Structure 1
Amino acid sequence: MERHIFALQLSHLLGESFSREWVYAQIEIPKQETHGDLAFPCFSLAKHFRKNPKDIAEEISLSIKHDVFDSVSATGGFVNVMLNKKFITSHTLKQLLSEPGEFGTHSFGEGKKVVLDLSAPNIAKPFSMGHLRSTVIGNAVANLAEKCGYEPVKINYIGDYGTQFGKLLAAYQRWGNSSLIKENPLHELKKIYVKFHQEAEKNPDLIEEGRQWFKRLEHQDEEAVELWTWFKDVSLIEFNKVYQLLGVAFDLTRGEAYYNDKMEATIELLKENKLLEHSEGAEVVRLDEEGLPPCLIRKSDGTTIYATRDLTAAIDRYQTYAFDESLYVVGHEQTLHFQQIVHVLKKLNFEWADRIQHIPFGMMLKDGKKMSTRKGKTILLEEVLKEAIDKARENIEEKNPQLENKDETARQVGVGAVIFHDLKHDRRNDVEFSLDEMLTFEGHTAPYLQYSYVRAKSLLEKGGFTSSSAAAEIDDPEAWSLIKTIRAYPEKIKMAYETYDPSTIAKHLLDLARSFNQYYAKTNIVNSHNKNEKLTLVYAFSLVLKDGLQVLGIEAPEKM
């Protein structure tokens, strides 16, 4: 509210040359609280007004007035605003406590549907740390969409088709052991898949053998389909164990193979629109005008490629959901692929092609290198989750052995640590896998946030606080930093969704917990004369922190 008021007054004073949107984007929060709560830099105005930024700031500061502002001053080319603490505090608490579940929500997505393609592990391979990013980023973006009024539809588009499965079938025929696979499915399937690539370096004929098995699968050969179905079924059982641990659920789980008998219609559509061309025996759609390489639709041996399936899937999703946004939460190495998909759909005159967005993210690295199943260099997510849970349980046994529900709390803390370690990073950056850093229960971690929540709940319990006894107003100068951080939460939700970056919320929650713990350290809360006011603030903090953790897909234990 106060930013909008400030921007409105500024844009009115500056004239038509500076839009309210531009002015709003320039408003900053000073690094030092003594400089103000909001600041507008005047340096970019100097050329237009042919004046010193300092003089411009001084002129503007004399004309800015509103009940929400306590004072306005000019310092070194900035217009600095001190907010009316009493007004802002009262307004924030009224907004939050009247409807706690609505704080942070927005309505700009109402009546709109957003489809998210996330997680998408490949069958017959263990669920590795490499797939964690798509899963937790996509899940958090879906939660953010819901906070903004959208109806999110989460699709787990399982990788169950392609030439790699021909290689796996060939590997099974040579080295597969059905008893061992039944006993430990994904471990054994991964083992023979890695062996296939090792042997293929010595015997290149194996690659052709894999191609032939994939052709058999495409042509619905009974043996190939039976083996492939078995591999798929056991894989989904193992994947679901990981999803249960992560607390992630999907609205639809569908494999690429679902589109096997539907791709011909897409290819015919490309032919009808005279988009399909022959190139060295293969069929492609040229994208020369778009400055992109051709999009391969069918290989020279007649087999399709994942671009064909993705085009078919995109058409099917629009027909099914009539989405307003379609988000593909997939690593940045697939950027070119999604550029090609969107441009081919545009050439087919689908007006909704512009609603498709690739949400890229950096890789999960190990020792600075990409993890690879083919080379056997993977770290299994389920093992990491279990180790994190075990570490959390050890901490509980050491610090609070009398705690009830120790196993459940250990799960909440351990899983939360793994999720937050990923989401605290800007999604576009690579993340170096570090079990030690992930499982540190101090600093910029989920356990730090969860412990801050538990501390707040303990204070409320000791003070005998109930939501019905919340104070309508708080007059506590020491609480100002915390109030401002609570108040910023709705804006951070909006920003996080608009940039599709959950790290905005992760970082804000760290700021929120830091403000709370500083307030706790210097304030006597339970034994103060205005205990109820202080506990109301603690209660407000706990509501926002818990909501933010839920947005990230992390649980908040009541005790630790």
Structure 2
Amino acid sequence: MEKNVLALQLSHLLGEEYSRDWVYSLIEIPKQEKLGDLAFPCFQLAKSFRQSPAKIADQLAPRLKHDLFASVQPTGGYINIFLNQRFVTEHTLKQLLTSGTDYGSHEFGANKNVVLDMSAPNIAKPFSMGHLRSTVIGNALANLAEKCGYETVKINYIGDYGTQFGKLLAAYKKWGDEEQVRANPLPELTKMYVKYHGASQHDPTLIENGRDWFKKLEQNDPEAINLWKWFKDASLTEFNKIYDLLGISFDLTRGEAYYNDKMDATVDLLKERQLLTESDGAMVVPLDEEGLPPCLIKKSNGTTIYATRDLTAAIDRYRSYQFDEALYVVGHEQTLHFQQIKHVLTKLNLPWAQDIKHISFGMMLQNGTKMSTRRGKTILLEKVLKEAIERARANIEEKNPGLADKDLVAEQVGAGAVIFHDLKHDRRNDVEFSLEDMLTFEGDTAPYLQYAYVRAQSILDKGGFELDKADASLDDSLAWPLVKQLRHFPNVVEKAYREYDPSKIARYLLDAAKMFNKYYAGTRILQDNQLDARLTLVHGFSLVIKEGLRLLGIQAPEKM
């Protein structure tokens, strides 16, 4: 609110040439408290006003007046605004009390549809740490979209088709033991896949054998189909165990194979629009004008490729959901692929092609290199989650052995630690896998935030806080940094969604928890003077921390 008020006043004072939005974009939050709560730099006005920034600030500052402003001071070319702490504190706490868990919500989504393509593990392979990123980033973005007023559809687009499955079928026929695979499906299938990949480096006939089995799969050969269905069902059963631990669900789980009988229509449409060209026996859509290599639609042997399936899936999703945004939460190594998909859809004159967005992210690295199932270099997510939960359980036994629902709390804390370790990083950056960093229960971690929430709940219980006795008229300068932080929550939610960056929520929550802990350490919250007002502030903090964790897909235990 205060930034809007300041922007409106300055825009009015500066004249029509300087819009409210332009002024708003320049308003800063000073890093040092002594420089105020808001600041407007006058340097970009110097040329048109033909005056020094300092002189412009001197002239404008006395003309800025509002109940929100305690004082306005020109300093070195900046206009520094000190807010009326009591007025702003009361307004913030009233907003929190009125909104409850809806605090920070927005309506700019206007019930428009956002479809998210996320998680997308490959069948017949264990769920590795490499697929964690798409899963938790996609889930957090869906939560943020809903918080901003959108309707969402979360799609788990399972990798259940392609030449790699021809290799797997060939490997099973060569080395597979049905009894062992049924007893321990994913590890056994992965072992065979890795063995096949290694052996094919020295035996070209294996590569051809894999291609033959994939062609059988495309031609609905009964044996190939039965094996493929078995591997798929076993994989989904194992994947669902992971999703349950992470607390993540989907609106639609659909594999690439679903589009097998629908791809001919896409190829026909490309032919009809005269977009297909033959190249060395393969069918491609040239993208020379876009500065990209051609998009391969059919290989020379007549088999399709995942671009064909992604084009078909995109068309199907728009027909099904009329989406306003389609977010593909996929690693940055697929950037070229999604550029090609978007340009081909644009060439088909589909106006919604511009609403497709590739939400790329960095890789999960192990010792500085990418994890790879084919090379046998991967870390299993289920193993990491179970170890995190076991460590959380041991921590509870050591510090609070009488805690009720210990197993549930251990799952909330362990899974939260794994999720937060990913989401606290800017999604575009690579993340180095470190079990120790992930499972540290101090510092910039989910357990630190969960414990701050538990502490707040304990204070509210001891103080006997009741909503009908809530008092927003807090007059406490020590609380001011925390009040300002709580006040920023709606802005952070909006920015996190508009930039598709859940780490903004994670970093915000860490700052909020640190400010709360500092306030707790320096204030006797439960003393009689202003007790109800201080408890109202603690209640407001607990609302924000719990809601922020929920947006990230993390639960907040009531006790730890």
Bin for the TM-score computed over the shorter chain: over 0.9
**Displacement, 1:44?**
2.5
**Displacement, 1:235?**
0.2
Q: Supply the distance in 1 between the matched residues of 2:7 and 2:527 (Cα, whole angstroms).
A: 42
Per-residue Cα deviation, 1:277-303 (whole angstroms, up to 9, x for no partner): 001110000111111111000001100
> Is it true that 1:239 corresponds to 2:239 in the alignment?
yes
SS of aligned partner of 1:202: coil
Per-residue Cα deviation, 1:383-425 (whole angstroms, up to 9, x for no partner): 0000000111111111111111111111110000000000000
Contact 2:39-2:79 at 8 Å conserved across structures: yes
Contact 2:36-2:81 at 8 Å conserved across structures: yes
Aligned to 1:534: 534
Amino acid at match of 1:474: L
Aligned residue runs from structure 1 range 301-316, under 5 A: 301-316=301-316
Aligned to 2:368: 368
Aligned to 1:274: 274
> Is it true that 1:451 corresponds to 2:451 in the alignment?
yes
Amino acid at match of 1:121: P
Q: After the TM superposition, list the runs of 4 or more consecutive aligned residues in structure 1 that deviate by more than 3 angstroms.
A: none
Q: Supply the distance in 2 between the matched residues of 1:180 and 1:555 (Cα, whole angstroms).
A: 37
Q: Supply the distance in 2 between the matched residues of 1:234 and 1:469 (Cα, whole angstroms).
A: 55
Aligned to 2:418: 418
**Displacement, 1:101?**
2.2
Unaligned runs of 5+ in 2: none
Aligned to 1:503: 503
> Is it true that 1:190 corresponds to 2:164 in the alignment?
no
Q: Supply the distance in 1 between the matched residues of 2:23 and 2:121 (Cα, whole angstroms).
A: 44
Q: Supply the distance in 1 between the matched residues of 2:83 and 2:455 (Cα, whole angstroms).
A: 29
Q: Supply the distance in 1 between the matched residues of 2:469 and 2:460 (Cα, whole angstroms).
A: 11
**Displacement, 1:19?**
2.7
Aligned residues: 560
Q: Supply the distance in 1 between the matched residues of 2:363 and 2:22 (Cα, whole angstroms).
A: 34
Amino acid at match of 2:87: F
Q: Supply the distance in 1 between the matched residues of 2:330 and 2:130 (Cα, whole angstroms).
A: 11
SS of aligned partner of 1:260: helix
Aligned to 2:558: 558
Amino acid at match of 1:65: K
Aligned to 2:6: 6
SS of aligned partner of 2:79: strand
Between 539-548 and 22-31, report the one with greater CA deviation. 22-31
Aligned residue runs from structure 1 range 423-442, under 5 A: 423-442=423-442
Q: Supply the distance in 2 between the matched residues of 1:436 and 1:142 (Cα, whole angstroms).
A: 29
Contact 2:70-2:84 at 8 Å conserved across structures: yes
Q: Supply the distance in 2 between the matched residues of 1:532 and 1:215 (Cα, whole angstroms).
A: 72
Amino acid at match of 1:276: L
> Is it true that 1:199 corresponds to 2:178 in the alignment?
no
Amino acid at match of 2:227: L
Give aligned-pair identity as a percent.
68
**Displacement, 1:324?**
0.7
Contact 2:114-2:152 at 8 Å conserved across structures: yes
**Displacement, 1:95?**
1.1
Aligned to 2:180: 180
Per-residue Cα deviation, 1:231-260 (whole angstroms, up to 9, x for no partner): 000000000000000000000000000000
Q: Supply the distance in 2 between the matched residues of 1:123 and 1:130 (Cα, whole angstroms).
A: 14
**Displacement, 1:53?**
1.6
SS of aligned partner of 2:328: strand
**Displacement, 1:127?**
0.2
Contact 2:360-2:428 at 8 Å conserved across structures: yes
**Displacement, 1:66?**
1.3
TM-score using structure 2 length: 0.99
**Displacement, 1:22?**
2.2
Q: Supply the distance in 2 between the matched residues of 1:228 and 1:537 (Cα, whole angstroms).
A: 57
Q: Supply the distance in 1 between the matched residues of 2:252 and 2:82 (Cα, whole angstroms).
A: 50
Q: Supply the distance in 1 between the matched residues of 2:177 and 2:50 (Cα, whole angstroms).
A: 81
> Is it true that 1:123 corresponds to 2:123 in the alignment?
yes
Q: Supply the distance in 1 between the matched residues of 2:24 and 2:130 (Cα, whole angstroms).
A: 38
SS of aligned partner of 1:262: helix
Contact 2:474-2:530 at 8 Å conserved across structures: no
Aligned residue runs from structure 1 range 214-253, under 5 A: 214-253=214-253
Q: Supply the distance in 1 between the matched residues of 2:360 and 2:14 (Cα, whole angstroms).
A: 38
Contact 2:89-2:472 at 8 Å conserved across structures: no
**Displacement, 1:90?**
1.3
Contact 2:166-2:214 at 8 Å conserved across structures: yes
Aligned residue runs from structure 1 range 326-337, under 5 A: 326-337=326-337
Q: Supply the distance in 1 between the matched residues of 2:297 and 2:207 (Cα, whole angstroms).
A: 21
Between 270-279 and 11-20, report the one with greater CA deviation. 11-20
Aligned residue runs from structure 1 range 128-147, under 5 A: 128-147=128-147
Aligned residue runs from structure 1 range 369-518, under 5 A: 369-518=369-518
SS of aligned partner of 1:206: helix
SS of aligned partner of 1:99: helix
Q: Supply the distance in 1 between the matched residues of 2:472 and 2:55 (Cα, whole angstroms).
A: 41
Per-residue Cα deviation, 1:340-399 (whole angstroms, up to 9, x for no partner): 111101110101111110100010001110000000000000000000001111111111
Aligned residue runs from structure 1 range 281-320, under 5 A: 281-320=281-320
**Displacement, 1:12?**
2.2
Q: Supply the distance in 1 between the matched residues of 2:94 and 2:502 (Cα, whole angstroms).
A: 27
Per-residue Cα deviation, 1:304-343 (whole angstroms, up to 9, x for no partner): 0000000000000000000111100000111111111111
**Displacement, 1:504?**
0.5
Aligned to 2:352: 352
**Displacement, 1:225?**
0.5
SS of aligned partner of 2:277: strand
Unaligned runs of 5+ in 1: none
TM-score using structure 1 length: 0.99
**Displacement, 1:485?**
0.4
Between 153-162 and 19-28, report the one with greater CA deviation. 19-28
> Is it true that 1:36 corresponds to 2:56 in the alignment?
no
**C-alpha RMSD of matched pairs (Å):** 0.9
Amino acid at match of 1:284: V
**Displacement, 1:437?**
0.4
**Displacement, 1:527?**
2.5
Q: Supply the distance in 2 between the matched residues of 1:362 and 1:512 (Cα, whole angstroms).
A: 27
Q: Supply the distance in 1 between the matched residues of 2:19 and 2:180 (Cα, whole angstroms).
A: 67
SS of aligned partner of 1:289: helix
Between 89-98 and 222-231, report the one with greater CA deviation. 89-98
Aligned to 2:45: 45
Aligned residue runs from structure 1 range 83-102, under 5 A: 83-102=83-102
Q: Supply the distance in 1 between the matched residues of 2:442 and 2:155 (Cα, whole angstroms).
A: 35
Aligned to 2:543: 543
**Displacement, 1:41?**
1.5
Aligned to 1:60: 60
Q: Supply the distance in 2 between the matched residues of 1:381 and 1:41 (Cα, whole angstroms).
A: 48
Contact 2:114-2:153 at 8 Å conserved across structures: yes
